[in-house]
């Protein structure tokens, strides 16, 4: 089993749709979790950290389930500008960041 | 404040030639990472530094790859000799360190080996 696994993409959704990405991780000792966004031919940029209680930032909601070793990202009211690849990132120890393969999102008019 | 700076942005070399990439992390960031990213894949760690010490280089192909961070600030990643399969984007990132701090990435160096 890979350390960090994500839904294979791409996800094609219309503007205004709600879309959810899932991610599982194998190391139960993992300590912190992030979602990064990567635009085509650009570097990854932090979208949001994921906290145990779940957290929300505008249209984006991240949730963590430690018992199931599962992380999710929900995007509501999708915009064209949300089109990108979303990377699930797990810190499995002191500064050891492991990335998933990423899930591509395509939002169409 | 300047972010992570990498150079060059693009590099085209012939196979068997050497190549070097440079990275200057965000000021005050003790942790520095070199990642490799192939098309359609997530970044894969090559090496992680805590200050000048390489604390995780288990995925670095040491027969041809080397890295250094002599003064615990900027870093250089070298490939010698390059192979066709080394064509990829090489990303440098830095963080404050610890288990709850995010990493910030440079724009990367896109290497093409012909």
B42, B95, B106 ranked by CB distance to A99: nearest: B42
Chain A interface, best mutation among B99, B104, B111, B112, by max A CB count within 10 A: B99
pLDDT bucket at B82, cuts 50 / 70 / 90: very high
Q: Is the pLDDT of residue A95 over 80?
A: no
Q: Which residues of chain B does A91 touch, with a Cβ-Cβ cutoff of 8 Å?
A: 99-100
3-state SS record for B44-71: EEEEEEECCEEEECCCCCCCCEEEECCC
pLDDT at position A25 is: 95
Element (H, E) at B11: strand B10-13
* C-alpha span between B114 and B109 (Å, rounded): 16
Chain B interface, best mutation among A29, A34, A41, A43, by max B CB count within 10 A: A43
pLDDT in tens, A23-68: 999 998 888 899 999 999 999 999 999 978 789 999 999 999 999 9
Higher per-residue pLDDT: B70 or B89: B89
Q: Could you tell me if B52 and B70 are in contact, meaning their C-beta atoms sit under 8 angstroms apart?
A: yes
pLDDT bucket at B98, cuts 50 / 70 / 90: confident
Lowest mean pLDDT segment, chosen from A48-52, A77-81, A86-90: A48-52
Residues in chain B: 114
Chain Cα centroid distance, residue B101: 19
Element (H, E) at A85: strand A84-91
pLDDT bucket at B73, cuts 50 / 70 / 90: very high
Pairing of strands A11-14, A103-108: parallel
pLDDT at position B1 is: 65
Q: Could you tell me if A63 and A72 are in contact, meaning their C-beta atoms sit under 8 angstroms apart?
A: yes
Q: Which residues contact B34 (CB under 8 A, 6 or more apart)?
A: B23, B45, B46, B47, B48, B67, B75, B77, B90, B91, B92
Yes or no, beta carbons of B99 and A45 under 8 Å apart: no
B98, B100, B106 ranked by CB distance to A43: nearest: B106
pLDDT at position A1 is: 64
Mean of pLDDT over chain B = 94
């Amino acid at each position: 089993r890979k350390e960090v696994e994500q839904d294979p993409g791409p996800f094609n959704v219309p503007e205004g749709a709600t879309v959810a990405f899932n991610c599982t991780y194998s190391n139960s000792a993992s300590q912190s979790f992030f979602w990064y966004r990567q635009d085509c031919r650009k570097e990854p940029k932090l979208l949001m950290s994921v906290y145990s209680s779940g957290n929300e930032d505008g249209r984006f909601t991240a949730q963590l389930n430690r018992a199931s070793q599962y992380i999710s990202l929900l995007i509501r009211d999708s915009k064209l500008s949300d089109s990108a690849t979303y990377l699930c990132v797990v810190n499995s120890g002191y500064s050891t960041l492991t990335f998933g393969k990423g899930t591509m999102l395509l939002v169409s008019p | 404040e300047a972010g992570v700076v990498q150079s060059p942005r693009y590099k085209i070399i012939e196979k068997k030639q050497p190549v070097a990439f440079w990275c200057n992390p965000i000021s005050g960031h003790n942790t520095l990472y070199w990642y490799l990213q192939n098309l359609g894949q997530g970044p894969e760690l090559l090496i992680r530094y805590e200050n000048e010490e390489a604390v995780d280089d288990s995925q670095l192909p040491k027969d041809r790859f080397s890295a250094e961070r002599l003064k615990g600030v900027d870093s250089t990643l070298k490939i010698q000799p390059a192979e066709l399969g080394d064509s990829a984007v090489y990303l440098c990132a830095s963080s404050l360190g610890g288990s709850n701090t995010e990493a910030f990435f440079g724009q990367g160096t896109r290497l093409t080996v012909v």
